[in-house]
Amino acid sequence: MDVRSRFHQLAWALPWLLFQLFPIADLVTEPRPLGVRILAALALLVFTAVYLLVFGRAFAPGCAPAYRELAVVAVLGVGLAVSLGTAWAGLMIYLSAAVAVTLPERWVWPAVLGATAVCAGVVAADDLLSDVFILPVMCVLTAFALRGTRYLVSVNAELTQAREELARSAVAEERMRFARDLHDLLGHSLSLIALKSELAGRLAERDPARARQEMADVEDAARRALAEVREAVSGYRQVSLAQALVEARSALSAAGIGLRAPAPVDPLPGALDAVLGWVVREATTNVLRHSGAHSVAVDLDVSDDQVTLAVTDDGRGGTGPRGAGLSGLQERVEAIGGRLEAGPADGRGFRLTAVVPAEVPAEQAVAR
């Protein structure tokens, strides 16, 4: 620990050292035997050093409570006050402060009241209680002040920890979002590129013109995928439903799969349009990879309170566990208050359905 941090910890204890002026003055002015003065001075030095150590441990993060050191402070403080009189009764103020920053809550006030009683008893024994009544009161007030300080330090540490945890959660969430975006972007684009390339290879000899066209489509898909990845990295990527339907028709056509798409509708809110675009993309990617389908139907139903998009194929249907693509898609849909349903279609095939609210709150649109 550096010197600056150590000083900040001890700064809570240093102001109270002013009360040592009274025992020091008593050592100098009172006619006592030299041996008693030396022993009292050494005890006062040890008391002060251990008191500072108690405070250093109390406000140092991760340090165990200094119970043994507190016991030393209690024994020396009570012994000096009882033995040497009113001028040393102020040591009970130190003891109250050390107790307040060290002991658990249930033990603080019994210990503080004990120190206060010792202080009042020493002053009363010298018949000075009416003159220096402030000393026992200071024991209680000091404990209150240090308990408040200890509470504020504890709350501040918890807030700092919570802030760090929120920052870690935000970073983890952003990583998951970015991984999900890349999976959705590249999964669809690379599937399209693979299909177009395979088709171009088969057509290269018997239909060179068509093969060249397919390869041109591959080049366009690669460039589009690169642009989308760059936009995803920059955080400005937006997928629309209309764009996703155009891409789906091109990809499915290359694989010999027919597509029935809905008629154009009025523009949907940006966040809603983007999520439905992702639904079409993910469904198309799954059809190309797994389904063995011959046709795909996209149905869109827009009402006053919700929008329903269903993508149905006539393939083999989903038989395995839900993959990362559908899991990420479900997160997107739920982020705007909707739900995602995936399962076998009536008869044969697979259906992916997203039901989302017609109006997306601003905070949910941002969270997406």
Mean of the per-residue pLDDT values for the chain?
80
Residue 65 falls in which region: left (phi positive, over 0), alpha (psi -120 to 50) or beta:
beta
State the Cα angle at 59 between 56 and 64, rounded to 5°.
80
pLDDT over threshold 70, residue 231: no
- Assign 147 a pLDDT band (cuts: 50, 70, 90): confident
- Assign 29 a pLDDT band (cuts: 50, 70, 90): confident
Q: Which residues contact 306 (CB under 8 A, 6 or more apart)?
A: 355, 356, 357, 358
pLDDT for res 367:
46
d(Cα 78, Cα 7) in Å, to the nearest integer?
27
With CA atoms as reference, report the closest residue to 40 among 92, 80, 93.
80
Return the structure tokens found at 182: 């890349």
Amino acid at 148: G
Sheet hosting strand 258-260, strand order edge to edge: 258-260, 295-302, 306-313, 350-357, 339-344
Instruction: Compute the 3-state secondary structure of the chain and give helix, strand, coil in percent, each to the nearest 5.
Output: 70, 10, 20
Which residue ranges form the domains of the chain, and what is each CATH number?
3-163 (no CATH), 257-368 (3.30.565.10)
- What is the distance of C-alpha 334 from the center of its chain? 21
d(Cα 46, Cα 42) in Å, to the nearest integer?
6
d(Cα 47, Cα 69) in Å, to the nearest integer?
10
- Assign 331 a pLDDT band (cuts: 50, 70, 90): confident
pLDDT (tens digit, 9 = 90+) per residue, 163-222? 777 667 766 776 776 677 777 767 777 777 888 888 888 888 888 888 888 888 888 888
DSSP 272-327: HHHHHHHHHHHHHHHIIIII--SEEEEEEEE-SSEEEEEEEE-SS---S---HHHH
How deeply is 363 buried, as exposed, middle or buried, from its count of CB atoms within 10 A (0-12, 13-18, 19+)? Answer: exposed
Considering the entire predicted model, what is its pTM? Answer: 0.46
d(Cα 149, Cα 101) in Å, to the nearest integer?
9
Phi and psi torsions of 66, nearest 5°: -90, 70
d(Cα 102, Cα 89) in Å, to the nearest integer?
21
- Assign 10 a pLDDT band (cuts: 50, 70, 90): low
Return the structure tokens found at 328: 């990420």
pLDDT over threshold 90, residue 42: yes
d(Cα 63, Cα 80) in Å, to the nearest integer?
29
C-alpha separations of 275 from 102, 332, 339 in Å: 55, 6, 11
